[in-house]
Chains A and B, each alone.
Chain A
Amino acid sequence: KQEVTQIPAALSVPEGENLVLNCSFTDSAIYNLQWFRQDPGKGLTSLLLIQSSQREQTSGRLNASLDKSSGRSTLYIAASQPGDSATYLCAVREGGAGSYQLTFGKGTKLSVIP
């Protein structure tokens, strides 16, 4: 069964710093990987979607990479801002039976200190 792990569970950085969030998954047979942001008490907002054939995706100050063979993805946030404070979740979508299911990591809680 697919397992998704996110390290670290929590991260606190000063404003302006660049940072990397990590996501690893046990089964490399994925169709895509999606990074989400969740603010306290809110739903999930999609940040970036990487197809299995892609190596990276960029949106503004965010860059997500995917190394499917090693089962790893990173989310790079440049020039962090207090508004980036949230929990970041990664999720993988697999193929085959039950392929509509996303498997989520438990998230990294990011705090950006002004």
Chain B
Amino acid sequence: DGGITQSPKYLFRKEGQNVTLSCEQNLNHDAMYWYRQDPGQGLRLIYYSQIVNDFQKGDIAEGYSVSREKKESFPLTVTSAQKNPTAFYLCASSTGQGWGYGYTFGSGTRLTVV
């Protein structure tokens, strides 16, 4: 079945550590996205990528980095510069052709700073 796989489901980060969240899709979608979800704030866009080797900052990119070396993969690194990284992180994808198509989301990674 086609879908988006996020791993790990839970992740713990120590202060000053960089951690990487994995996102893989087998939907042959061109575009991929990372959102952050905090209680009471809704979903906010971190980064998005429309094609391989290209990505754009979203509303809250500071302290995060991404890469898009393969169409199927869009990993997110939470760096030590992100001062409040505890949140639920969601990866999504959509076709890049035609605005009429919807988004597909993964099951999320919960990141906690310890």
Which residues of A approach B to under 8 Å, CB–CB? 31-32, 34, 36, 41-46, 49, 51, 89, 91, 93, 95, 99-102, 104-107
Contact = CB atoms under 8 A, between A and B. Distances in A.
Interface in B5-57: 6, 31, 33, 40-43, 45, 48, 50
Contacts of B2: none
B48 A105 contact: no
A35 to B, nearest CB: 10
Nearest to A42: B107
Contacts of B6: 43
Contacts of A41: 88, 108, 110
Contacts of B76: none
Nearest to B9: A41
B50 to A, nearest CB: 6
A95 B101 CA distance: 13
A99 to B, nearest CB: 7
